[in-house]
Structure 1
Amino acid sequence: MDKLVDVIKIFLDKYFIPTIIAISATIFFVATYPDCLKLRSNTNEFLYYILVFCLVFLFVLSICKAYKTICSKIERSNAKEQHQQYVETEKRKVLEELWTFVDKLSIPNKQALFSFLRTNNTPIESSDTYASDSIFYNRDIMHETIARAIQEESFCPTTNRKNNGHIVIPIEHPIISIPVKKYRLNDSFFSLLKYSYGKYNRISHFEEDNQYD
């Protein structure tokens, strides 16, 4: 019996709660079945107690591990759901900022955004000079590079009086180089714009803006 106590102490050091449960269950089992399957008669009392204790302990340990596994999966599932809710909340905040921004844009600017959506953000070439309220002027959402240059000659007519008449003399000016720029939306802004249109079928607070598509 002393050896059994020593064995139980080893289990208590590492698996306290499962061991307590196993001891209680072993006592109950041995009291109910003092010689189950005649194992006690065929071996000896000590080995019988050890066998019963080990079987009960393994059963209890399996239940504990199964319980921990289930709890762990539930916690991961809850954490994933909470994270998803957090992501959706943050996306909604960003979308609100996007929609408020697009609400204030002019019709040509909204048409330009839909043009980028239709072409999957294919760069647009232009030599125009844009005003400060244009999205093409906004470096926060637009990426700009110089694609090429157009060479143009400028002629300015002037007049000179002769014999009470006017003579128009064209004066040649130096060649002017006009840059042609490529414009495309920043990747982060375009991704948000595409997500908004794909999920909510709009890029502003007003679905009427879809008429500019």
Structure 2
Amino acid sequence: MIVLVMSVPLTMLLGSMAAYVLARYDFRGNRLLYFFFVAGAMFPVFLALVPLFFMVKRLDMLNTYHGLALVYVAYSLPFTVFFMHAFFRTLPTAVFEAAILDGASHTRTFFQVMLPMAKPGLLSVGIFNTLGQWNQYILPTVLMQPQSGDDPERYVLTQGLIQLQQQQGYASDLPVLFAGVTIAMVPMLVVYLSFQRQVQAGLTSATLK
């Protein structure tokens, strides 16, 4: 929960800002920058584990919640930009032009006009990012490693479940394991069921003009 509270809002903020600029402003290199983000979603995270580990270690952020949160943000940005770019392009241009003519700055137009109109898309991609980061296992396994004998082990939930299963061996305590699985599943089920209609509306409205 600590990691997600830091990573999901930052992912949504940076991703929506980048997608808005790429969708609404024409400048040299616009398409190249957009395809750069899209290309980031094509490469599996396994290809970057080794350089990522040494980069985070050089920044002295191994086995820290904020270090893992920043990696989650970078990991989730390509999909967020891709999704929100398509959504911002469907919003009416007349509203954007009217705000500019009324004297609103670009920042105010984004936060007070365009972003509220993109609420269904934000909720949809926010749910996907929450699910993906909540269930992430390989990144915490690589990056949440104690660096000295005094450093505590900071497992996230997925790591804790795997450790519980491995430590039990053949004498599995299934009630305890199922309790952990339930703890992992229930919050995501509550989030999805609470915003189910908004997710469906966001997925359909991004494909319609």
TM over 0.5: no
Answer with 1 or 2: which has the greater Rg: 1
Structure with greater strand percent: 1
TM-score normalised per structure 1: 0.20
Greater helix content: 2
User: TM (normalized to structure 2)?
Assistant: 0.20
